[in-house]
Structure 1
Amino acid sequence: MITAIVLIDADNGRIPETAQAVADTEGVAEVYSCAGDVDLIAIVRVRDHEQIADVVTGRIDKVDGVARTTTHIAFKSYSSADVEAGFSLGE
Structure 2
Amino acid sequence: MVQAYILIQTTMDRAADVAREIAGLDGVTQAEDVTGPYDVIVRAEAADIDELARMVVARVQKLDGIARTLTCPIVQL
What TM-score do the two structures reach when normalised by structure 2? 0.91
What TM-score do the two structures reach when normalised by structure 1? 0.78
For residues 25-65 of structure 1, the C-alpha deviation after alignment (integer angstroms, 9 at most, x for no partner) is 11111102111110000111111111111111111000111
Instruction: Provide the rounded CA distance (Å) in 2 between the counterparts of 1:72 and 1:14.
Output: 22
For the pair 1:13 / 2:16, whether they are aligned, the reply is no
Gaps of 5+ in 1: 78-91
Read off the aligned partner of 1:62 and give its amino acid letter: K
Q: Give the paired residue count.
A: 77
The higher relative CO (CA closer than 8 Å, separation ≥ 6) is in 2
Structure 2 match to 1:47: 47
Gaps of 5+ in 2: none
Q: Say which one has the larger Rg.
A: 1
RMSD in angstroms over aligned alpha carbons? 1.2
Instruction: Provide the rounded CA distance (Å) in 2 between the counterparts of 1:14 and 1:58.
Output: 19
Identity %: 30
